[in-house]
């Protein structure tokens, strides 16, 4: 598909600066821009690419002021990042979506398939499942008995949803994710550990996205709940009976242990670890590799393992980098003190 730069600007309620008639047929990163593509600039550290890019047009923020001549067409919008995201969503929505049931696959008795459904080859759908409108089940997906999946949800190849779990509207579950495996529950005995049956479920509310190879354990009793709007990256572990509040985002390789309650609108960096049975407030931000072992109040910003206030963390880290130098100074000071002591002894 092709669009003129001025048409893209009109669609985004932006302003053209340059040739509005230039034809755009694809998108590109600004550092890899090619003729006929639309790029975007939102991060200042990429600004130098603007002056050399071959992209035919570039989205920039309205208040952006170039520091050198620009040869490409600029489209000024309120937020370049949000604008490119909106365009990509529109592009994706225009792509053809698969429909129907491919063979071979297995669909058990009493399964309800909503209008516009798709079931890929080698998928398994257990008995008494209910799939809403436009649900897309890609090849080799396993859906256990009694699972309910609401309208517009997409489950990509190889994902697993265990029995009884509930998936809301417009969710995305990526390949290899496991929803509803047993929680890590074992009771110590004199001869080892006895397994505690995990009889609960997992509930994903609306507009949740689960990354590839992420695992969300079913509850021992009740439900592990991933609330509306939550976005989980690849390779994340969510323990049994955890609640993740609305619109929280968690980056890759993080883990939340059982029965912890995470608040709304939190942001966790990669490799964050949170112990079990904790309460994490709303709006909490945790830097990458933070280790949390105690409750956190609303809007806390922490980093480190164990995690503490980020501003203090950076001060401590600055000192940490100087430890070898400080150690050398202390060693030299110790030698001087010993020398003075020895001189005093000789004098006396």
Residues in the chain: 348
The whole-angstrom separation of Cα 76 and Cα 56 is 14
Q: How far is CA 258 from the centre of its chain?
A: 20
**CA distances (Å), 29 to each of 47, 48, 312, 316, in order?**
12, 13, 37, 37
DSSP string, 279-338: EE-TT-EE-TT-EE-S-B-TT-EEETTTTEEHHHHHHHHHHHHTHHHHHHHHHHHHHHHH
Identify which of 293, 292, 295, 291 has the alpha carbon closest to the alpha carbon of residue 280: 295
Give catalytic status of residue 240 as yes or no: yes
**CA distances (Å), 24 to each of 56, 162, 334, in order?**
7, 45, 71
Q: Is residue 80 within 8 Å of residue 41, measured between CB atoms?
A: yes
Spot the catalytic one: 25, 48, 240, 277. 240
Between helix 310-321 and helix 323-347 the angle, nearest 10°, is 60
What is the C-alpha radius of gyration for the chain, rounded to an integer number of angstroms? 28
Q: Can you name the residues that pair with 238 across neighbouring β-strands?
A: 216, 256
As to burial, measured by CB atoms within 10 angstroms (0-12 exposed, 13-18 middle, 19+ buried), residue 218 is: buried
Q: Which residues are catalytic?
A: 240
């Amino acid at each position: 598909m092709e669009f003129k730069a001025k048409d893209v600007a009109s669609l985004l309620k932006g302003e053209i600066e340059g040739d509005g008639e230039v034809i755009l047929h694809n998108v590109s990163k600004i550092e890899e821009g090619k003729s006929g593509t639309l790029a975007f600039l939102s991060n200042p550290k990429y600004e130098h690419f603007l002056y050399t890019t071959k992209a035919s047009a570039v989205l920039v923020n309205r208040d952006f002021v170039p520091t050198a001549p620009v040869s490409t067409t600029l489209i000024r919008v309120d937020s370049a990042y949000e604008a490119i995201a909106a365009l990509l969503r529109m592009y994706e929505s225009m792509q053809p979506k698969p429909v129907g049931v491919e063979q071979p696959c297995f669909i058990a008795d009493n399964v309800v398939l909503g209008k516009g459904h798709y079931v890929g080859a080698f998928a398994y759908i257990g008995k008494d499942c209910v799939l809403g409108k436009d649900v897309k089940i890609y090849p080799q997906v396993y859906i256990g008995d009694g699972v309910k999946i609401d309208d517009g949800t997409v489950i990509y190849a190889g994902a697993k949803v265990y029995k009884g779990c509930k998936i809301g509207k417009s969710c995305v579950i990526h390949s290899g994710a496991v929803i509803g495996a047993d929680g890590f529950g074992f009771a110590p005995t004199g001869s080892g550990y006895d397994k505690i049956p995990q009889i609960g479920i997992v509930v994903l509310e609306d507009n949740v996205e689960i990354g590839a190879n992420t695992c969300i354990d079913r509850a021992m009793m009740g439900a592990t709940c991933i609330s509306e709007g939550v976005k989980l990256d690849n390779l994340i572990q969510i323990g049994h009976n955890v609640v993740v509040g609305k619109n929280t985002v968690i980056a890759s390789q993080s883990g939340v242990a059982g029965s912890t309650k995470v608040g709304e609108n939190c942001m966790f960096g990669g490799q964050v670890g949170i112990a079990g049975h904790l309460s994490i407030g709303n709006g909490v931000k945790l830097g990458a590799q933070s280790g949390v072992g105690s409750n956190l109040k609303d809007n806390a910003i922490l980093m480190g393992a164990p995690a503490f206030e980020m501003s203090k963390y950076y001060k401590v880290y600055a000192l940490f980098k100087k430890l070898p130098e400080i150690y050398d100074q202390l060693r030299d000071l110790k030698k001087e003190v010993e020398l003075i002591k020895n001189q005093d002894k000789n004098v006396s």
